[in-house]
Structure 1
Amino acid sequence: MPKIKLQTKIKATRSIVFDLSRSIDLHKISTEHTNEEAIAGKTSGLIGIDESVTWRAKHFGIYQNLTSKITEYNRPKYFTDQMVKGAFKEFKHEHHFKELNDETLMTDLFYYKSPFGVLGKIADKLFLKKYMIELLTERNRIVKQFAESERWKEIISK
């Protein structure tokens, strides 16, 4: 199963970074280029334990639906979302948050299995893993941008 690990240092409190990371509204902003929208379940605000969201987005020229559910949650240290239904055979996305002096270290661990057996493994090597890294990196860039400015207040209220 491929694994992607990304680490992002953010000059903001852990609770702000944690809440931005589980914001449906901020996720929409970070995925504007895929026309991603929440169409079922939790469709705005902050998602929490045992809540799910169904996303509709255009990837590789095809509209797809993906439903994920928050399966682990310990605010503000970590949460995990897992695919319930979608194009992947399976995926699990762990979000970890660690305080470092006046910063937060945000660590993403993204595990996934592509569909289509051997063809899926070939797709992983040719383009899918790179594509997923780019999506996650853009999401993290937006979380960082909002967290390090006053813009986080547009998304969450203290």
Structure 2
Amino acid sequence: MIEVVSVIDAVPIRVFDLELDVEVHAESLSDSRETATTSTGRSRLCLGDEVTLSARHFGLRWRMTSRITAYEPPHRFIDEQTRGPFRALRHEHCFEDIGDRRTRMTDRMTISAPLGPLGAVMTRVLLAPYLRRLLTRRAIHIKHLAEARDNRE
């Protein structure tokens, strides 16, 4: 399991909403030319919605579709791969109010690669560290947006 924890100076609902915005997601990973298309055409995801992400990683074009399978505003939501490169991918997003208009945001991602034992080694050596860096980059982006927006209001 990959886990990234961030403390953000903004209320949980603000952080929760930003994490569900596919335009914010694409902005946070712009260097990989990430695009996101939703099943509803809306930019903000809700329970049951699907999003198809397309990006360039490791010099290759990747495409993955995930569905929001749990939705408990402003505390948590889960997205799970329905189609894509992994045997399975589950990403839990948790938002805890820690007082003083601050949120502890925790990303927990579990992945299972295809190719049996070779996939397990690739996951441990290559994919998990790479995905941890992506989650950290996204968390920093969300932190900047949430704190900038929260301080204006």
Task: Indicate whether the TM-score tops 0.5.
Answer: yes
**1:149 and 2:141 aligned:** no
**CA pair 25-123 structure 1, distance change in 2 beyond 3 A:** same
Note the C-alpha offset of 1:43.
5.2
Match of 2:137 in 1: 138
* Equivalent position to 2:96, from 71, 95, 98: 98
Contact 2:10 2:150 in 1 (8 A): no
Q: CA deviation at 1:70?
A: 0.2
Q: Structure 2 unaligned runs (5+)?
A: none
RMSD (Å), alpha carbons: 1.8
Alpha-carbon separation, structure 2, partners of 1:45 and 1:75: 17
Residue of structure 1 aligned with 2:27, choices 26, 29, 32: 29
In 2: Cα distance, 1:55 partner to 1:32 partner: 12
Deviations 1:60-118 (A, max 9, x none): 11111100000000110110000000001101100111101121000111111011111
Q: 1:150 is paired with a residue of what secondary structure?
A: helix
Map 1:62-141 → 2, pairs under 5 A: 62-102=60-100, 103-141=102-140
Structure 2: distance between partners of 1:51 and 1:150: 26
Give the aligned partner of residue 55 of structure 1. 53
TM-score, with normalisation over the residues of structure 1? 0.90
Give the whole-Å Cα distance in 1 for the aligned partners of 2:77 and 2:70.
5
CA contact (8 A) 1:16 1:152 kept: no
Secondary structure of 1:131's match? Answer: helix
Number of residue-to-residue matches in the alignment? 152
**Alignment CA distance shift 1:151-1:13 (3 Å):** closer
Give the fraction of aligned pairs with identical amino acids, expressed as a percent: 32
The TM-score normalised by the length of structure 2 is 0.93
- Aligned partner of 1:35: which letter? R
Moved runs in structure 1, 4+ residues, more than 3 A?
Answer: none
Q: Label 1:43 to 1:36 Cα distance change in 2 as closer, same or farther (>3 A).
A: farther
Gaps of 5+ in 1: none
Deviations 1:3-26 (A, max 9, x none): 011110000011000000111010
Question: What secondary structure sits across from 2:148 in the alignment?
Answer: coil
Inter-partner Cα distance in structure 1 for 2:11 and 2:38 = 30
Provide Cα deviations, 1:30-85, integer angstroms capped at 9, x if missing partner.
Answer: 11011110245245521000000111111111111100000000110110000000
Question: CA 1:43 to 1:126, structure 2 compared with 1: closer, same or farther past 3 Å?
Answer: farther
